[in-house]
Amino acid sequence: MPTLIFVFIGFVLLIILTSSTFLTIEAGERGVIFRPFSSGLDKENIFQPGFHVVAPWNSMYIYDVREKQLEEEMEVLSKNGLNIRVDVTVRFNPTYDKIGDLHEKFGKDYVNTLVRPEVRSAVRQVIGRFEPEELYSTRREEVQGMITTDIETSLKRNYVDLKATLIRDIALPDKVKNAIEEKIEAEQLALKYEYILAQERKEAERKIIEAQAKSDANRILNASLTDKILRDKGIEATIKLAESPNSKIVIVGSGSDGLPLILGGN
């Protein structure tokens, strides 16, 4: 009987020691060990994926270091105190070689104790710097960039790497949204009319320049024409008409300017 008891106790201890001493860290994971009877939390040595042997009185904390995604829907105040609903998505992962520091400062629930509060704080601070119209139309990309910078800075110093920040939606109250859309439409219409007027002014200027050019050309031409040149041109035209097979020319006497008189022809 005593032998059976010792065998049974030894078997139980073997099972306990086996399950506590041998562990496997999967791909996409890292481990940090806590040694209560010696150095405490070993932040310098991060355990890589693979098979590891750990003393049963030590504790291994395993972290999933693959990229995670957090989606936040929140209401914040704009610069003029208006409620704005913002939907934000952030992608992040723990800094691989800083798992020990992250564990010591925030623990395995770091998403809720670190990431989520920092995201909400950054969104509130940035949105509070802008008017609703700026958030809706002209400066949305700038807002997203500022939020990204704020979140990245705060997470980086707490051993988390930010991969991306995306503003999925910025929703304004319907009355404010409609007022902004009407204002934008009016501005676009005003720009359209301004463009039309500018084109009309350019066309008017073109016509004035064209008319001035014709007037200058006629003035120069008139100044260069003499009676002799006009007679020569008249003679050349008369000869061409006389040579035409479809024309019959009758010349009688001469005109007051010395040119022949054309009395008839087909």
Residue 258: strand, helix, or coil: coil
| Candidates 3.30.565.10, 3.40.1390.10, 3.30.479.30, 3.90.180.10; CATH matching 68-172 | 3.30.479.30
The C-alpha atoms of residue 103 and residue 46 are separated, in whole angstroms, by 12
Domain ranges of the chain: 19-64, 68-172, 174-224, 226-266
Residues of the chain below pLDDT 70: 1, 11-20, 136-138, 173-189, 192-193, 221-235, 237-266
Q: Which two tokens stand for residue 168?
A: 């999925």
Write the CA distances from 94 to 101, 111, 121, integer angstroms. 10, 10, 20
Average per-residue pLDDT in the chain?
A: 79
The C-alpha atoms of residue 163 and residue 82 are separated, in whole angstroms, by 30
Q: What is the pLDDT of residue 21?
A: 72
Q: What is the pLDDT of residue 250?
A: 46
- Name the residue type at position 165: T
Query: Which helix (DSSP H) or strand (DSSP E) does residue 204 occupy?
Result: helix 174-224
β-bridge partners, 63? 30
Q: What is the pLDDT of residue 39?
A: 83
Q: To which residue do tokens 């003393």 refer? A: 55
Q: Which two tokens stand for residue 247?
A: 């024309």
Please work out, in degrees rounded to the nearest 5, the angle formed at the alpha carbon of residue 88 by the alpha carbons of 82 and 93. 145
